[in-house]
Structure 1
Amino acid sequence: MEFYVDGGCRGNGTSNAIGAAACVMRLRHGDTETWTRDLPNGYYDPLPTNQRAEITAIILALEIALEKYDKLNRRPWLDVTIKSDSRYAVNCMTEWVYKWSTNGWINAKGGEVVNRDLIQKASDLDDRLKEEGDVQYVWIPRGDNMDADDACNDALDEQN
């Protein structure tokens, strides 16, 4: 399974921020399937930010991969690749999450890891998926991620 993910936020860092995440799955023969998710508006959850949207997009891809796997009649070894134009999101999943979980979710500056709730959720989903196969996170240039970027912007447009 190959996923392209993107997250975005308008009004980043303000009380009226809106955020969305998008996931595009490449199917055989060049077709795609697309999912989006709006971020909570901050009333009871943290305010939307670009970083929260990017991690939410990865969560969305991991959830979809697990859902699709659960619907299969047999249990093949999975090979999942999640491509993102966010170095932050890719580094969270490939490097930093291991350090943070070992350090009690304290960052290098001695404070609590920002977006811990989402990163832990993504890590838990990643662990579940890795029981069934391989998961890779790959950084790609923004220009190579236009389908996910467009889907994310469409979802943001619908919130306005």
Structure 2
Amino acid sequence: MKYVVWVACIAMFARPQPIIRRINNNDFEEDGGSITVYVNGACSKNGQADAQGGFGVFWGENHPLNTSEPVRGRATNNRGEIQGAIRAITQALDNGIPRLTIYTDSQYLINCMKVWISGWKQNNWIRSTGDPVRNQENLQELDNLQSRLQLVEWIHVKAKNGNHGNDEANRLAKAGAAMYQPPAPAQEVEPADLQHLDQTSTDDFDF
């Protein structure tokens, strides 16, 4: 009797096995009809001239689409977060994935895509302060890619909280940052994207 109860308790608290869906000869984790992916950005010395930035995309253990790359252009953490999402959606489109759930620990990215972007577009990409929106080019690219999928759901996860997918995306992002090559001297290095610091989790600025 005790053995039966013990087994039942283990089954109750065991992590449910993810649903695996095979698309384009690759296996993807599915939740509620949507494929899941984790993205992350990393930037050492964020906001400094010698900053190094990268992004990571994690689809699953040893997945062929897992990505670790340096940031394109100036290196900031926020740019890494955006470019990670760009890569994830591009990969989804290339592999015939119609519905995507993106997990990120960046409140900045979540707010950009769920709160601020509609107002920015209506205001011709000018903030309420009268300043142009930072990362406009990357955000416009991300918005355009998002519109080509049936659904993109953005879900925030807490950083450094034992979430395996997020930890793996962070590891990939750090590896990408280590590969970063600074832009040519003629290209202006702008300060870190701190325009929404009062509305953004400090996790967004962690390496």
Q: Quickly name the TM-score band, shorter chain normalised.
A: 0.7 to 0.9
Which is higher, the Rg of structure 1 or of structure 2? 2
Q: Deviations over 1:4-59 (max 9, x none)?
A: 00001112112221110110114xxx76441122113xxxx4x2111111111111
Contact 2:71 2:177 in 1 (8 A): no
State the TM-score, normalizing by the size of structure 2: 0.64
C-alpha distance in 2, partners of 1:158/1:100? 32
Q: What is the aligned-residue RMSD (CA, Å)? A: 1.8
Alignment of 1:1-160 (within 5 A): 1-26=35-60, 32=63, 33-40=65-72, 45=73, 47-69=74-96, 78-129=98-149, 133-142=150-159, 143=161, 144=163, 145-159=166-180
| Aligned position for 1:73 | none
Letter in 2 for 1:139: H
Stretches of 4+ moved more than 3 A in 1?
A: 30-33, 157-160
Greater helix fraction, Structure 1 or Structure 2: 1
Contact 2:51 2:75 in 1 (8 A): yes
Q: CA deviation at 1:158?
A: 4.2
Contact 2:54 2:175 in 1 (8 A): no
Q: Secondary structure at the match of 1:4?
A: strand
Letter in 2 for 1:88: Y
Contact 2:54 2:178 in 1 (8 A): no
Structure 1 unaligned residues grouped into runs of 5+: 70-75
Q: CA deviation at 1:150?
A: 1.0
Higher mean C-alpha displacement, 142-151 vs 115-124: 142-151
Letter in 2 for 1:3: V
In structure 2, the CA distance between the partners of 1:156 and 1:108, relative to structure 1 (3 Å rule), is same
State the TM-score, normalizing by the size of structure 1: 0.81
Across the two proteins, how many residue pairs are aligned to each other?
Answer: 142
